[in-house]
Chains A and B, each alone.
Chain A
């Protein structure tokens, strides 16, 4: 009979309407600025530069190899290479970025810079509240703003960060072994 389905539908919506006042479980809305949804590990929004140790600028893993700048599809990365060298995350003397800028308004969150980086220096951040009151300078992130600690990386992407750390530790051990001129036997004698 015509109309029975409509009545059933009306009953269903009435149940939802009244139910939302009775049981709080029905309401799935999170009242955003006051409440926050738990962070999702796989989420990504905008890249940041990882540094080891305590000094955000000295500890930067980036060696300014320009690969990310060249690969970036919307061309939002701008790097200026340093003239001198400093030891990188593995211990080899390398160049470092004198300037490293990313334009938030241009970045499309594709993660290609992260995929191509051979030094695990650039990673994706989960922070999404990047709005600014100025359209130009405030949206151009510089090296100081982009640098975030390895601990922060562990916090937002624990699994991924642990794998990166293991890889880096192996590389560091290899470099240390290559540097040491004497075989391990000499060490034993000391």
Chain B
């Protein structure tokens, strides 16, 4: 088998299976064959991620992490799954039963829908929409609806508080998330995820044309990842959940498998936004060097995805939770101006002749405002003083 066959093995297999299907059924079977692997692979990745996360966080805190179930504790997700399936499902008496039931389903569904436009390999995408990126963000904002449904229908003040926080946070960070990805749309001139990846899968000598290797691409990637962390409610932006303050936020009144569904939805959302970051900035399924193109494209996609997940875990193990005002301050006073400047820089980059000067100008255009903005956010210039308490001693 040639490397090309191995690369396209899933596509070939699908067409082979379709050739045995009667013609009227073909559209349905084709869709099912495209969707089924997504429904299988990403929940499996979720299971692996939970154990990796617990072990990684453990090692960061100088302890072992789960090591009892199976070899090195890697069967832990199976035990967790059985536990959450067999637990009693408690619904509060005053809760809006229907909406309470619907919220976790909607969350998981919204998370899954986003995968429809992610190219996870060469020719491996469920639908190549013309407005793929737009579709992704549209579906992504459905998550907010599900979160608020969960918080509102529970009839608990803590749920509602968590949902309010979550919605405020997600809407605030949706703005920089979209603005950070606009630079890529400007550069590629397309909203289709497949076209964006195809543009990045070219090489100059051995180096790929990934958008992350430009000043605006790099800054856009960092800003996108920060916004993605906030979008997926992960530490240090996990205020809506805040285990130590509001216990579990909007899903405090959920138990059993519905609780597990919230976790699943949250992780799936994280994988999807990571997948979009890979698609937009890290060249999607393309290899990092031209001499590595013989490795199947889906291997590269999942390698990049796992690397980003590891970064998420690493950041979670490092940073403490932000305060609400710090969270909003970061979104509106830092992220928003930086993303807008990034768009301007991408425009400048487009109209300047290629060369060293273009690099210098664009880097300066981003570095100088960053230095100025960070002075406002950090203690820059201000002296730390003893804190005084008016009401507590």
Cβ–Cβ < 8 Å partners of A29 in chain B: 63-64
Given contacts A9-B318, A10-B315, contact A16 B62 (CB under 8 A): yes
Q: Does A180 belong to the interface (CB within 8 Å)?
A: no
B62 in contact with A28 (CB, 8 Å) = yes
Once bound together, how far apart are the Cα atoms of A29 and B62, in whole Å? 8
Mark out the residues of chain A between 12 and 45 whose CB falls within 8 Å of any chain B CB in the assembled complex: 12-14, 16-17, 19-21, 26-29, 31
The secondary structure that dominates the B interface is: helix
B319 in contact with A3 (CB, 8 Å) = no
User: Of B63, B315, B318, which is in contact with the most chain A CB atoms at under 10 Å from its CB?
Assistant: B318
Q: Does B374 belong to the interface (CB within 8 Å)?
A: yes
Given contacts A2-B370, A2-B378, contact A13 B63 (CB under 8 A): no
Once bound together, how far apart are the Cα atoms of A2 and B378, in whole Å? 6
Cβ–Cβ < 8 Å partners of A190 in chain B: none
A27 in contact with B318 (CB, 8 Å) = no
Once bound together, how far apart are the Cα atoms of A10 and B59, in whole Å? 14
A: number of interface residues (CB 8 Å) = 19
A133 vs chain B, min Cβ distance (A): 20
Q: Does A163 belong to the interface (CB within 8 Å)?
A: no
Once bound together, how far apart are the Cα atoms of A117 and B115, in whole Å? 71
Q: Does A1 belong to the interface (CB within 8 Å)?
A: yes
Once bound together, how far apart are the Cα atoms of A88 and B378, in whole Å? 74
Residue of A whose beta carbon sits closest to that of B311: A10
A16 in contact with B373 (CB, 8 Å) = no
A20 in contact with B62 (CB, 8 Å) = yes
Once bound together, how far apart are the Cα atoms of A2 and B372, in whole Å? 10
A26 in contact with B374 (CB, 8 Å) = no
Q: Does A6 belong to the interface (CB within 8 Å)?
A: yes
Cβ–Cβ < 8 Å partners of A26 in chain B: 62
Q: Does B56 belong to the interface (CB within 8 Å)?
A: yes
A13 in contact with B377 (CB, 8 Å) = no
Q: Does B371 belong to the interface (CB within 8 Å)?
A: yes
B319 in contact with A28 (CB, 8 Å) = no
Cβ–Cβ < 8 Å partners of A13 in chain B: 60, 314, 317-318
Cβ–Cβ < 8 Å partners of B123 in chain A: none
Cβ–Cβ < 8 Å partners of A21 in chain B: 59
A residues contacting B by CB (< 8 A) are 1-3, 6, 9-10, 12-14, 16-17, 19-21, 26-29, 31
10 A/B residue pairs, CB under 8 Å, sorted by A: A2-B334, A6-B318, A10-B314, A13-B317, A13-B318, A16-B59, A16-B61, A16-B62, A19-B62, A29-B64
